[in-house]
Amino acid sequence: MAAITLSNRRIAILEDSPTNRERLSGMVKLCGGVPVPIDAPAPKLTGLKAFFASQHIQLVICDHHLSEKGDYAPYYGAQAVAESYRQGIGGILVTAFEKDDAELSLRRFRRHIPALIRSPEDFDRGKLQAALLQADREVREHSPSLERIPHRTIMTVQRVNPYGSNKIVKVMMSQWDVTQEVGFPLDLVPKELQAAVRPGSMLIAEVNIEAARQEDLFFDKFELPNADALEKARSLFDRP
């Protein structure tokens, strides 16, 4: 039962639209939690820890775009969830999921976003509750779900596309899906390796390849493959 599972936990709601804050509060109540909607202006990123402690916050729900309406918060919701992760508080991100967000502002912080709720598709009691509990397990009990466990993965760079002032690297990972390209911002790759990121080159990174949706993938710990790894990869690709 909802009310029992979330057991009146205090859940902070970071959302720039007052209407959406009210909407999310309603859903949190329905899930059995105690909503703590944060009015404008939200605390600075560096002040979140102290704020959460003062409000006895146990979980966090963040909208991704926090500065569409006004100067609610000078950061993305994804950054706030990642920050609360580092402070030991589980959080989920609510987003309308735009493809460009997935490959840029979401991907940058996806490693530390335990769960993502698509709005309005996933906006129901069951999904919200499951996401909050999963976030709590990953952050407090260090027990991530199978889809969130990273594996060392080799990938081939297909293209590097300019996007606004950023660059998106499109890669193929046969260990994840042989048909789908996945993108991430070039600045996720350490500076000293960026010159080697060109169409046709190969990279290794830690990726949660059990994730079903591409917006759930994260990339971490990039490295360039050595000759042995390249040989191995080539033999894999060359296999009929």
Partner 1 sequence: MAKTPTKQVQPPSSERLRFSTAILRLLGEELNPSPDQGILELIKNSYDADAKRCTVELKGVHIKGGSIVLTDDGIGMTSEEIRNGWLIVGDSMKSRSETSPSGRLLVGSKGLGRLGALRLGRKVEMTTRPKSEPGIQYRMEIDWAAFEQAKVVEEVELAVTREEAPMGTAHGTEIVISQLPTPWSKGDIKRLARVILLLRDPFAKNQGFQASLRAEEFVELEKLAHEGYFGECNYHLIATIHEDGRASTEVRSAGGKRLFVGKHADVSAEKANPIYEVPPLTFELWEFKLSAEAFAASVKATTVKHVRAWLEHFGGVRLYHRGVRVLPYGEQKNDWLDMNLRRSQHQELRPSTNNSLGCVRINDPAGVFQQKTDRLGFVESHALDELRRFTDEALDWMSRERRKEREQRKKAAIQRVHLEKKDAEKQMEAVIEKLPPTQRKEVAAAVKKMQSAHDAEVELKDETAQLYFTLGTVGTTAAAFAHQTKQPIRGIVADAKLLEEYLGDPQELALFRDESSKAVKRIHGEAKAIYSFSSVTLRLLEHEKRRSARHSVHQLIDETVELLTPYLEARETTVKRDYADGDLRIWCPRAAFEAIFTNLLTNSLQAFEARAKYGVTAGPRLIQIQTRVSGGMVAIRLEDNGPGIERLAIEEIWLPGKTTTDKGTGLGLAIVKDVIEELRGRVEAEAHGELGGASFTITLPLKT
Residues near partner 1 (CB under 8 A): 17, 19-20, 22-23, 26-27, 29-30, 41, 65-76, 96, 98, 100, 104-105, 119-120, 123-125, 159-166, 195-196, 198
Work out the number of other CB atoms within 10 angstroms of the CB of residue 23: 16
Looking at beta carbons only, is 163 or 237 nearer to partner 1? Answer: 163
Could you give the strand order of the β-sheet that contains 34-37, starting from the edge strand earlier in sequence? 34-37, 10-14, 59-63, 90-95, 115-118
In the complex, the smallest distance separating the C-beta of residue 210 from partner 1, rounded to whole angstroms, is: 29
Q: How far is CA 48 from the centre of its chain?
A: 18
Pairing of strands 90-95, 115-118: parallel
In the complex, the smallest distance separating the C-beta of residue 193 from partner 1, rounded to whole angstroms, is: 9
In the complex, the smallest distance separating the C-beta of residue 25 from partner 1, rounded to whole angstroms, is: 9
Looking at beta carbons only, is 162 or 240 nearer to partner 1? Answer: 162
In the complex, the smallest distance separating the C-beta of residue 196 from partner 1, rounded to whole angstroms, is: 5
Looking at beta carbons only, is 198 or 213 nearer to partner 1? Answer: 198
In the complex, the smallest distance separating the C-beta of residue 199 from partner 1, rounded to whole angstroms, is: 8
Looking at beta carbons only, is 140 or 159 nearer to partner 1? Answer: 159
In the complex, the smallest distance separating the C-beta of residue 236 from partner 1, rounded to whole angstroms, is: 17
Looking at beta carbons only, is 198 or 221 nearer to partner 1? Answer: 198
Looking at beta carbons only, is 100 or 220 nearer to partner 1? Answer: 100
In the complex, the smallest distance separating the C-beta of residue 34 from partner 1, rounded to whole angstroms, is: 14
Pairing of strands 59-63, 10-14: parallel
CA 202/CA 14 separation, integer angstroms: 39
Looking at beta carbons only, is 88 or 120 nearer to partner 1? Answer: 120
CA 108/CA 86 separation, integer angstroms: 15
Question: Phi and psi for 70 in degrees, rounded to 5?
Answer: -155, -155
